[in-house]
């Protein structure tokens, strides 16, 4: 059996003050016909990255809504994760393809994991490409299978896309963060477009006073009297930590007192992570004002929260980005946020209104200088940003979307409950 993740307990009632009354009533109404339905979420890791972040909130809330929900982690050796990382990179546009042996490794692990999954569910939700092919081994399944893509598919390496597409076509529905990510190919299932969400009540996002935040970051050696820039993200070239260091260096010419924190956990399905971590440390060249921290330094959710709250600006200088929950988290904390003009980030930041979108280290530095020079104007943008997140990117909305989809797959009437759905080749 595939490993079960313990997600703890959450109560929908606690979200009543955050979501509108109409939304809470709609969630209850949509959940009613789904009572007792069995759902399994399958993903590659329970730790590190956006999928884990979302599931720890979504799953307990689905349970509280009355469904029977499990989250299971597929198994893989280093050989598998080397291949899945290649696939991840290729789907985000890296030209390197897969050779026959790598394709075979991927297929073998799909079969092995499928053999460990019982076909007892009403809904099987498969996250990202790592378990995408398990579906092939359940031709008689009575479950509805949904594939949820979390990465930036706007300009994929076509040969690798063609490798995974036949599996995606077998699903009953696919979900993408953005319309631009939907492949323009025939034969796809209905494709739903909805962004992920953050949990405003989780330790990562709960209200933290500036005093408490300063108290926490101080323990990592940060001088809390001097300004701080922070980027929170896995050590991954697409997150461009080296570009962040370049930007910081430019800012430092103007504001010598500036400090930089790069906070990045290591996901266990990411074999490149350590290499890239080491490269980042080397690139920082021993600068005492650059703090490179990870879960190995005990940076957990509350600490990430504190770094975000305490920062003069939060950066997410990505080159590709599925959605960028770190941007959502920063905006929710009313932080001036500077982020790459890519992927899901552009759905969150309206340049010049709710934050700053940048295309280079120089632009990133320029935005930071603006923020440090005029914190009042920066705060105004951040306030708009927070409001935008409140309306669009909090968990109750995400839960509602899932409930609509499950009802639609069962053929239940969902009139009045709209979710964006596009047919594939449109």
For ligand UDP, the binding residues in 318-337 under the rule CB under 6 A are: 322-326, 329
Nearer to ligand UDP, 217 or 369 (CB): 217
For ligand UDP, the binding residues in 184-213 under the rule CB under 6 A are: 204
Are the C-beta atoms of 342 and 320 separated by less than 8 Å? yes
Q: Site map for ligand UDP, 83-122, x if CB under 6 A?
A: ----------------------------------------
Q: Is 346 helix (H, G, I), strand (E, B) or coil?
A: helix
Q: Does 233 bind ligand UDP (CB under 6 A)?
A: yes
Count of residues in contact with ligand UDP, rule CB under 6 A: 19
Q: Does 263 bind ligand UDP (CB under 6 A)?
A: yes
Q: Is 416 helix (H, G, I), strand (E, B) or coil?
A: coil
d(CA 306, CA 304): 5
* Contact region with ligand UDP (CB under 6 A), list: 7-15, 76-84, 231-239, 350-358: 231-239
As beta bridge partners, residue 192 has: 175, 421
d(CA 266, CA 47): 8
Q: Site map for ligand UDP, 368-387, x if CB under 6 A?
A: --------------------
Nearer to ligand UDP, 143 or 325 (CB): 325
Shortest distance in whole angstroms from residue 355 CB to ligand UDP: 15
Dmax (CA) for the chain in angstroms is: 65
Sign of torsion over alpha carbons 330, 331, 337, 342: positive
Nearer to ligand UDP, 65 or 315 (CB): 315
For ligand UDP, the binding residues in 301-320 under the rule CB under 6 A are: 301, 304
Q: How many CB atoms lie within 10 A of CB 216?
A: 21
* Contact region with ligand UDP (CB under 6 A), list: 164-172, 227-235, 345-353, 384-392: 227-235
Shortest distance in whole angstroms from residue 271 CB to ligand UDP: 15
Query: In the bound complex, which residue of the shown chain has the CB atom lying closest to ligand UDP?
Result: 50
Shortest distance in whole angstroms from residue 54 CB to ligand UDP: 8
- DSSP states along 66-127: T-EEEEEE----HHHHHHHHHHHHHHTT------HHHHHHHHHHHHHHHHTS-S--SEEEEE
Sign of torsion over alpha carbons 113, 116, 118, 124: negative
Q: Does 264 bind ligand UDP (CB under 6 A)?
A: yes
Q: How many CB atoms lie within 10 A of CB 152?
A: 27
List phi, psi (to 5°) of 319. -100, -30
Half-sphere exposure in the Cβ direction for 244 (13 Å, CA): 34
d(CA 42, CA 117): 10
Pick one of 69, 232, 313, 398: the residue that binds ligand UDP (CB under 6 A).
Answer: 232
Shortest distance in whole angstroms from residue 140 CB to ligand UDP: 33
* Contact region with ligand UDP (CB under 6 A), list: 21-29, 48-56, 109-117, 279-287: 48-56
* Contact region with ligand UDP (CB under 6 A), list: 11-19, 46-54, 109-117, 364-372: 46-54
Shortest distance in whole angstroms from residue 331 CB to ligand UDP: 12
Spell out the residues 6+ positions from residue 103 whose beta carbon is closer than 8 angstroms to its own.
163
Q: Does 2 bind ligand UDP (CB under 6 A)?
A: no
**For binding to ligand UDP (CB under 6 A), which residues are involved?**
49-50, 53, 204, 232-234, 263-265, 299, 301, 304, 322-326, 329
């Amino acid at each position: 059996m595939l490993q079960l993740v313990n997600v703890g307990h959450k109560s929908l009632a606690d979200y009543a003050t955050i979501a509108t009354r109409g939304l809470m009533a709609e969630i209850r109404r949509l959940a009613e016909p789904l009572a007792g339905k069995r759902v399994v979420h399958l993903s590659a890791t329970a730790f590190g990255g956006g999928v884990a972040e979302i599931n720890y909130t979504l799953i307990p809330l689905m349970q509280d809504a009355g469904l029977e929900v499990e989250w299971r982690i597929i198994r893989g050796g280093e050989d598998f994760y080397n291949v899945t990382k290649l696939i991840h990179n290729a789907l985000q546009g890296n030209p390197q393809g897969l050779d026959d042996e790598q394709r075979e490794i991927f297929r073998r692990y799909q079969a092995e994991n499928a053999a460990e999954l019982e076909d007892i569910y009403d809904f099987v939700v498969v996250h990202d490409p790592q378990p995408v092919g398990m579906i092939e081994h359940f031709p008689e399944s009575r479950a509805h299978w949904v594939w949820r893509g979390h990465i930036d598919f706007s300009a994929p390496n076509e040969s690798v896309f063609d490798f995974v597409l036949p599996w995606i076509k077998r699903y009953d529905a696919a979900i993408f963060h953005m319309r631009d990510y939907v492949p323009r190919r025939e034969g796809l299932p209905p494709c739903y477009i909805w962004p992920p969400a953050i949990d405003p009540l989780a330790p990562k996002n709960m209200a933290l006073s500036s005093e408490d935040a300063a108290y926490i970051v101080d323990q990592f050696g940060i001088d809390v009297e001097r300004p701080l820039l922070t980027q929170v993200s896995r050590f991954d070239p697409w997150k461009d930590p080296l570009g962040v260091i370049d930007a910081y260096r430019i800012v430092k010419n103007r504001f010598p007192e500036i400090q930089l924190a790069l906070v990045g956990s290591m996901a266990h399905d990411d074999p490149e992570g350590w290499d890239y971590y080491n490269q980042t440390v080397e690139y920082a060249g021993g600068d005492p004002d650059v703090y490179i921290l990870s879960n190995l330094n005990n940076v957990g959710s509350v600490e990430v929260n504190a770094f975000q709250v305490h920062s003069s600006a939060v950066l997410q200088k990505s080159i590709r980005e599925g959605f960028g929950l770190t941007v959502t988290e920063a905006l929710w904390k009313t932080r001036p946020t500077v982020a790459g003009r890519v992927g899901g980030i552009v759905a969150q930041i309206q340049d010049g209104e709710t934050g700053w979108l940048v295309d280079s280290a120089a632009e990133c530095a320029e935005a930071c200088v603006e923020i440090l020079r005029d914190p009042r104007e920066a705060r105004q943008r951040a306030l708009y940003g927070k409001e935008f997140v409140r309306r669009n990117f909090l968990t109750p909305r995400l839960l509602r979307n899932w409930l609509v989809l499950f009802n639609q797959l069962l053929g239940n009437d969902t009139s009045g409950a709209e979710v964006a759905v596009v047919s594939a080749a449109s």
